[in-house]
Amino acid sequence: MHKRTLIMVEIALMTALAFILSFIRFPGPWAQGGSISLIMVPIFIMAFRRGWRVGVLTGLLVGVVNLMYNAFIMHPIQMLLDHPVPYAALGLAGLFAFQNSEGRLSISWALIGVLFAGSLRFLSHFVSGVVWFGSFAPEGMNVYLYSFIYNISYILPGILITLVVLYMLYKAQPEFFQMKKTTTLTS
């Protein structure tokens, strides 16, 4: 029971931290949503610390909170593809939370996990951009190209900055990323 409570508290704290970090943005031209921020860092921390299930739950909650305070909604499915789904997908980085020979998180696998999960986030936003935001493409521009350029322009820098921050945190405090055995929140 104590462990379950601890996990729930960690999820709540990391969700709140992600929400706060979402307000620290790098400026950009994204009129229909999107920004470069550190919102992904707490989700990845939970994915590597507690596993993919807890990472997905944390991401889902971050997406819901983001939806409540930072939404640009054109359609219910677009709302899902731009808020809860892409942030929940970030938690799948936990599938790559392997230990190295020293029993610590393998930074190489973690890098692959961040790139994999970041790609899933991009894919979700890309589909939303093609289907619901294609009308914003400059005249004569292919909507697929428009959505690709628009979404990659903030997601890729966000992933790269997140990688740097995660690497610095890992170097400073590798024990923080020590994979903790998790029980499911329902047991």
Q: Does pTM top 0.85 for this prediction? A: yes
Q: Determine whether 11 is exposed, middle or buried from the number of CB atoms within 10 Å of its CB (0-12, 13-18, 19+).
A: buried
The average confidence (pLDDT) of the chain is 91
Quick one: which of 19, 15, 28, 21 has its CA closest to 157? 28
Q: Kindly tell me the burial class for residue 174, based on how many C-beta atoms sit within 10 Å of its own C-beta (0-12, 13-18, 19 or more).
A: middle
Q: Is 42 exposed, middle or buried (0-12, 13-18, 19+ CB in 10 A)?
A: buried
pLDDT in tens, 47-75: 999 999 999 999 999 999 999 987 888 89
Q: Which fold has domain 2-23+35-177?
A: Arp2/3 complex 21 kDa subunit ARPC3 (1.10.1760)
Q: What is the tens place of the pLDDT at every residue in 22-56?
A: 998 887 776 666 789 999 999 999 999 999 999 99
The pLDDT tens digits of the residues spanning 68-125 come to: 987 888 899 999 999 999 999 999 999 999 988 888 899 999 999 999 999 999 999 9
